[in-house]
């Protein structure tokens, strides 16, 4: 079943690594078995998109020319064979592509594996829904699937105002945890609004804030969204024996000695795996459906940064993401 769609669509193309995106026309794809055609309303941009564009993300398996953009919201325009659970006209959101040879969201249409999608939360705008998928999936896999966060847990989120961090703070709080989050001093008010006790990492060494906020015991769960030295700090900040460190950027070389001396545990999160390998995609759809339920209760809401980016402005928006934003996510509107 389908609504009428044009034969061609506008899309932003990465012709070569390191070059600006180019607005072009491409054929509108047809949904295959298990796929739906989504008319994209908004595309969420992530730091990974900027690394891919610069040729600094070999793990994403992108070969130009390519359409970037991991996150999307939109409306189902057609369904392919074997699709159940979605109908034409449904508003959906998901982490749909932009890696591994799968078309991304910086285009007016995309043929998307239906298992990657969930219905858009009614309380969110299309822009908010486009800002959420990668971030909320990463937060959920780390905090819920790996660390089993629950009532009474003490949780430290490194980078609590960032794209993943600001949703991780809300998710932990929604599940009954007490939350602290590191950030810059100017982000303190934002962190408080999200439900976290702010920690100025620039003025407070890790030993100091662990002593101040946990009496020196350490946090039950430390969620590192930044990697590098923050992962090393996480190994120092976690509680002995029962503590759990989770990182979405656990790359590079790190000494495990501080973690081992605490008898604590570590988990890594690599949210791209289902897109790259085709395995476990339904888990993404289930997570987004669960996040939508929290959103319907008012417990989860993305923060948007900037305003007025259209598809023609995608390269400008991508550069802003690369420079870093004070809180939340940058979104490109397509409708």
Tell me the pLDDT of the chain (335 aa) as tens digits.
556 789 999 999 999 999 999 999 999 999 999 999 999 999 999 999 999 999 999 999 999 999 999 999 999 999 999 999 999 999 999 999 999 999 999 999 999 999 999 999 999 999 999 999 999 999 999 999 999 999 999 999 999 999 999 999 999 999 999 999 999 999 999 999 999 999 999 999 999 999 999 999 999 999 999 999 999 999 999 999 999 999 999 988 999 999 999 999 999 999 999 999 999 999 999 999 999 999 999 999 999 998 779 999 999 999 999 999 889 999 999 98
Same domain, 35 and 107: yes
Does residue 282 sit within a domain?
no
Residue 274 lies inside a defined structural domain of this protein: no
In this structure, are residues 162 and 173 in contact, taking their beta carbons and an 8 Å threshold? no
Query: pTM of the predicted model, to two decimals?
Result: 0.96
Q: Are residues 113 and 189 in the same domain?
A: no
Does residue 311 share a domain with residue 262? no
From 223, 234, 205, select the one nearest 157 (Cα to Cα). Answer: 223
**Are residues 264 and 139 located together in one domain of the fold?**
yes
**What is the C-alpha to C-alpha distance for residues 91 and 76, in angstroms, rounded to an integer?**
7
CATH assignment of the domain containing 175: 3.40.50.720
Is 157 in the same domain as 170?
yes
User: Does residue 287 fall inside a structural domain?
Assistant: no
Closest Cα partner for 311 from 40, 73, 107?
107
Do the beta carbons of residue 75 and residue 92 sit within 8 Å?
Answer: yes
- Residue 197, classified by CB atoms within 10 Å of its CB into exposed (0-12), middle (13-18) or buried (19+), is middle
Paired strand residues for 94: 72, 117
Which of 252, 268, 284 delimits the end of a domain?
Answer: 268
Q: Decide if 276 is inside a domain.
A: no
Specify the number of domains making up the chain: 2
Cβ proximity of 123 and 295 under 8 Å: yes
61 neighbors 101 (Cβ within 8 angstroms):
yes
Same domain, 126 and 151: no
Is 3 contained in some domain?
no
Check whether residue 44 and residue 92 sit in a common domain.
yes
- Residue 107 maps to which CATH number? 3.90.180.10
Count of beta carbons in the 10 Å neighbourhood of residue 151: 8
Q: Is residue 284 part of a domain?
A: no
| Residue 118 and residue 155 share a domain | no
Residues 247 and 304 placed together within one structural domain of the fold: no
Does residue 279 fall inside a structural domain? Answer: no
Q: DSSP strand E in the chain: where?
A: 8-13, 22-27, 35-45, 71-79, 91-95, 109-113, 117-119, 154-158, 178-183, 197-200, 221-224, 244-247, 265-268, 304-305, 329-333
Domain of residue 142, residue span:
135-268
Based on the fold, state whether residues 116 and 159 are members of the same structural domain. Answer: no
């Amino acid at each position: 079943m389908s609504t009428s769609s044009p034969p061609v669509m506008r899309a932003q193309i990465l012709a070569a690594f390191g070059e600006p995106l180019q607005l072009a026309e491409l054929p509108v794809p047809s949904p295959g078995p298990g796929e739906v055609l989504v008319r994209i309303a908004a595309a969420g941009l992530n730091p990974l998109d900027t690394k891919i564009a610069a040729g600094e993300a070999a793990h994403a398996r992108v070969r130009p020319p390519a359409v970037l953009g991991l996150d999307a919201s939109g409306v189902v325009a057609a369904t392919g064979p074997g699709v159940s659970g979605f109908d034409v006209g449904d508003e959906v959101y998901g982490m749909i592509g932009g890696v591994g040879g799968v078309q991304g969201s910086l285009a007016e249409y995309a043929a998307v594996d239906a298992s990657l999608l969930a219905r858009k939360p009614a309380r969110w705008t299309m822009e908010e829904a486009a800002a959420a998928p990668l971030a909320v999936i990463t937060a959920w896999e780390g905090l819920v699937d790996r660390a089993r966060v629950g009532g009474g847990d003490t949780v430290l989120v490194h980078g609590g105002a960032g794209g993943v961090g600001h949703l991780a703070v809300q998710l932990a709080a929604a599940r009954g945890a007490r939350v602290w989050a590191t950030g810059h001093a100017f982000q303190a008010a934002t962190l408080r609004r999200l439900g976290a006790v702010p920690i100025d990492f620039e003025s407070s060494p890790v030993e100091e804030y662990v002593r101040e906020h946990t009496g020196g015991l350490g946090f039950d769960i430390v969620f590192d969204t930044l990697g590098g030295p923050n992962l090393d700090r996480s190994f120092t900040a976690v509680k002995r024996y029962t503590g759990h460190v989770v990182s979405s950027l656990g790359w590079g070389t790190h000494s495990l000695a501080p973690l081992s001396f605490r008898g604590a545990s570590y988990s890594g999160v690599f949210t791209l795996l289902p897109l790259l390998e085709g395995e476990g995609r339904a888990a993404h759809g289930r997570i987004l459906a669960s996040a939508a339920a929290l959103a319907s209760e008012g417990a989860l809401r993305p923060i948007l940064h900037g305003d007025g980016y259209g598809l023609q402005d995608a390269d400008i928006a991508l550069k802003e993401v690369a420079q870093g934003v004070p809180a939340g996510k940058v979104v490109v509107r397509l409708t």
